[in-house]
Amino acid sequence: NAPPVASIDVAEKGYVGEEIILNASHSYDPDGEIISYRWDLGDGAIAEGEVVTHVYKEAGRYRITLEVMDDGGETDTAEAYIEILQREGSISAGNGLIYGIAVLGLISLILLILLILRRRG
């Protein structure tokens, strides 16, 4: 029994919050058939199937690992890397919190000034 050959087809780059398609359809077994596809998506997520989708929640470089197994129990592994980017102008969770606090502070300051002016007038 010859081992299968794992092959990953995935874009080199993607964006936070957008669906990424991972395709193993070019994987093959020279003398049988592949019976399982197991993906480690590099961010703690695991998936199974010939074609899977995933959404990364944080920007960064992720190592994707695919393990295929054939009907004879032989396995092969392939690796690929994907760079997940934050879209320019988008607000991440940390920036969103800072923005929210700044707006709340500005509103509080305006209300305080109005209260002071009202008491004087």
* 99 compared with 118, residue with greater pLDDT: 118
Q: Are residues 7 and 65 in the same domain?
A: yes
Q: Could you tell me if 11 and 82 are in contact, meaning their C-beta atoms sit under 8 angstroms apart?
A: yes
Q: Among candidates 66, 53, 86, 71, which has minimal Cα distance to 26? A: 66
What are the tens digits of pLDDT across the range 24-50? Answer: 999 999 999 999 999 999 999 999 999
Q: Are residues 43 and 72 in the same domain?
A: yes
Q: Which domain holds residue 107?
A: 91-121
Q: Residue 96's pLDDT is what?
A: 65
Mean pLDDT value across the chain: 92
What are the tens digits of pLDDT across the range 83-100? Answer: 999 988 755 556 666 777
Q: Are residues 55 and 72 in the same domain?
A: yes
The count of domains in the chain is 2
Q: Are residues 48 and 37 in the same domain?
A: yes
pTM: 0.72
Residue 37, domain CATH? 2.60.40.10
Q: Are residues 32 and 61 in the same domain?
A: yes
